[in-house]
Amino acid sequence: MGPYLLGLRLSGRRVLVVGGGRVAQRRVPALLEAGAEVTVVSPGVTPALDDLIAAGRVTWHARPYEVGDCDGAWLVQACTDDRSVNTAVAAEAEAKRVWCVRADDKDASAAWTPASGRVEEISVAVTAGGDPRRAAGIRDAVVGALRDGTVDARRNRTKPVGVALVGGGPGDPGLITVRGRQLLAQADVVVADRLAPRGLLDELAPDVELIDAAKVPYGRALSQDTINELLVDRARQGKFVVRLKGGDPFVFGRGGEEMIACARSGIPVLVVPGITSAVAVPAAAGVPVTHRGVSQEFHVISVHVAPDDPKSTVDWPALARSQGTLVLLMAVERLAKVAEVLLREGRSAETPAMVVQDGTLPTQRAVIASLSTVADRVSAAGIRPPAIVIVGDVVRVGQEVEMVRAERLP
């Protein structure tokens, strides 16, 4: 017969764990999270358990199991690697009508520990006939579906309200955060940027209103004031609105403006950070923005206006003098002027530079050149936005990695 599943509320209740090895190490943290008062009986314990004991979270009796250890326990876990000890523990627990889980023998165990997981207020427990690996696999699938919103997302009575500013990451749909994906699945309205991961939009339910807020360089654009009005209007209608952006909403994403507009209208705002392309795209191209002994700093600069434009607030001479990595966003169309000012203000003409188009996507491609030639190389290669420009010696680190990989190929 299958087990009768219960959710035990262990807060303030004594739980006995006999054994201090790897099985106990896995089970004790979950018991502590449930509020149990855990006692471990074992001659020795793992370092992880020792940390919990040193922190005063677990009581440890450094000795073998003795009859009477089950007294006062609400639940017993027999986790030793000695079958005879586990049998004795289980027998004492049975005699005292205390539920006992045997880690070594599911058929002889009075209770099973399910593969469990938790997503907000939802707990998932899977037993799978006592097969722990199968149970864990099923648990992972269910928990993953709960986290990304493919299960239960829009049937939740406590669905979020207001507006969520969600960073979608650098382009690959798999790089959105778990929280961002979950909120996207709960949305009634999605206002999406041009650089938001478009693949995620195909997963939206048919009744979700999708508003295209793309701002095409030198082309059509939905004004920021209009976007702000849309967010406020839909939220006032009682709809949950997700503003889906590429990268991070607060890194040249105008998320601050949208947050202020909502706040002024009394609309609750939730901010979900995203992976910024300023770091992710260089990484996807094999270039670290910092590297020991090479660069201790990196600067992220928006080049939506040229260096000689009166509206530019960037201190280009200071950047030229810096030895740190420069990560330039929205720079492709003005790359020649950027290189010119950096060279004029002191950067070496041989400083390596890389330009990565469509970073993290299957269409990703890159051009590597020196600072003095990068603009011409990019133009000749037909590189177009969206693209990230990396200037600095860290580009050589990426090239070194590629050479090492090539040398190790058979």
Catalytic residue (choose from 96, 215, 239, 337): 215
Q: How far is CA 408 from CA 14, 398, 400, 403, 405, in A?
A: 56, 16, 13, 9, 5
Query: d(Cα 226, Cα 220) in Å, to the nearest integer?
Result: 13
How far, in whole angstroms, is CA 173 from its chain's centroid? 12
C-alpha 97: how far from chain center: 44
Active site residue 248: no
Element housing 146 (H / E): helix 132-147
Query: Strand pairing of 387-391 and 352-357?
Result: antiparallel
The owner of tokens 């579906």 is 145
Q: For residues 125 and 144, what is the distance between their CA atoms, to the nearest angstrom?
A: 14
69, 104, 193, 248: the catalytic one is 193
DSSP readout, 314-365?
A: --HHHHHH--SEEEEES-GGGHHHHHHHHHHTT--TT-EEEEEESTTSTT-E
Q: Which residues contact 187 (CB under 8 A, 6 or more apart)?
A: 164, 204, 208, 240, 241, 242
Rounded CA separation 194/184 (Å)? 16
Q: Which one, of 249, 279, 285, 268, lies nearest residue 396 by Cα? A: 285
* Contact call for residues 196 and 249 (beta carbons, < 8 A): no
376 catalytic? Reply is no
Q: Which residues are catalytic?
A: 193, 215
